[in-house]
Amino acid sequence: MTPRRLFTALALFLSGCAGAPQSYPSLAKRPIESAPMAQVAPPAPSVPADAALSAEITRHVAQADKGAAAFDAAYARADRAVGAAKGAGVSSDVWVAAQVAISALESARNDSVSALASLDTLYVQRSNAVADGKAAGGLEDIDAARSAALALVDQQNDRIDAMKGRLPQP
């Protein structure tokens, strides 16, 4: 860079610092900050689900538990197959058997995934019904069941991913 350009750039840079004095906002408390806080009403107590909704939630929870039991049974078989294929080459018979066992494991958790999807749909439908004034309450019950099913499916996903990570990849 030539000295002339350097001097010009430096002059322009420093000219930005030498402007007219500005008045910055005060950091003193403003009147609104000194006013007493308004009391916020506590949230309305949650309305429990009606009998029909509770029965539907229970049915979906049972379906998720059924899927978890099937997953756990299939997991033991898949774990043995993956263990046998640990040092095997890609596309060998034991590697293919392990991939089939993992596919069976993913299929075994179908009930858990289906129950989660049903609880998601039920939550959206109930939220719309509550917003439209056609129903009252039950959202907390659905959300609790949905959270439990989601945790179950996430745990299954983690176990499947860990198992796939133990196999050589093509």
pLDDT at residue 98 tops 70: yes
pLDDT at 14 over 80: no
pLDDT attached to residue 61: 96
Using CA atoms, how far apart are residues 130 and 141, in angstroms rounded to an integer? 14
Domain ranges of the chain: 51-165
* Count of beta carbons in the 10 Å neighbourhood of residue 161: 9
Comparing 2-11, 71-80, 93-102, the range with the smallest average pLDDT is: 2-11
State how far the Cα of 77 lies from the Cα of 122, in Å rounded to an integer: 34
Q: 106: burial class by Cβ within 10 Å (0-12, 13-18, 19+)?
A: middle
pLDDT more than 70, % of the chain: 89
Answer whether 46's CB lies under 8 Å from 126's CB: no
Average of per-residue pLDDT values in the chain: 87
Q: Write down the pLDDT at residue 115.
A: 97
pTM here is 0.68
pLDDT: is 85 or 17 the higher one?
85
What is the model's pLDDT at position 143? 94
The token pair at 170 is: 């093509």
Question: How far apart, in whole angstroms, are the C-alpha atoms of residue 110 and residue 74?
Answer: 12
What digits encode the pLDDT tens for the residues 20-72? 666 777 788 888 777 777 776 665 556 666 888 999 999 999 999 999 999 99
Size (the chain), residues: 170
What angle is formed at CA 68 by the lines to CA 158 and CA 87, rounded to 5 degrees?
A: 45
With beta carbons less than 8 A apart as the criterion, state whether 77 and 107 touch. no
Q: CA angle at residue 144 from 142 to 150, to 5 degrees? A: 100
Grouping H, G, I as helix, E, B as strand and the rest as coil, residue 87 is: coil
